[in-house]
Copies of this chain bind each other. A is one copy, B any other.
Amino acid sequence: MKHKTQQRKALMECLHEARGPLSPAEILWFSREKVPSLGIATVYRNLKLLVEEGFVAELQVPGQGSYYEPADMDHHHHFQCRNCKQLFCIPGCPPGITSLAPEGFKLDGHEIFLYGRCSECTQ
């Protein structure tokens, strides 16, 4: 049976308060406001644990390692701003996606990344 530590609680709170997926470094930064002694190894260990237990979803971002978000979100994809680098969640999914797989290939998942400028950085 797992113990509910301050550290683990702080991580989950951060993820729920965030506007989008966070990197381990961002999670460390924000969580230290609640648990100043927190170390990066603990962040990685807990993220792994929380992903295994199904509370957190891992998002592997091309060229930028893994980001994390609460697992209880509906199916969605992401937009990354080329200027501020922030990741935004995009609800929905193009309908034709499942017909792209070639003959004989069995499709069981997909990931879409949109790139451009967010509304803040467009101005």
User: How many of these chains are in the complex?
Assistant: 2
Interface residues of A in 35-94 (CB under 8 A from B): 59-64, 66, 77, 79, 82, 88, 90, 92-94
- Stretch of A7-15, A22-30, A96-104 lying at the B interface: A96-104
Check if B79 sits within 8 Å of A105, measured CB to CB: yes
CB closest residue in chain B, given A95: B96
CB closest residue in chain B, given A99: B94
Check if B114 sits within 8 Å of A101, measured CB to CB: yes
A112 at the B interface (CB under 8 A): yes
A119 at the B interface (CB under 8 A): yes
CB closest residue in chain B, given A81: B105
Residues from chain B with a CB closer than 8 A to the CB of A60 are 62-64
Check if B103 sits within 8 Å of A116, measured CB to CB: no
A108 at the B interface (CB under 8 A): yes
CB proximity of A64 to chain B, nearest CB, Å: 8
Q: With A61-B62, A66-B63, A96-B95 given, is the CB distance from A105 to B82 under 8 Å? A: no
Check if A100 sits within 8 Å of B114, measured CB to CB: yes
Residues from chain B with a CB closer than 8 A to the CB of A88 are 102, 105
Residues from chain B with a CB closer than 8 A to the CB of A112 are 97, 100, 110-113
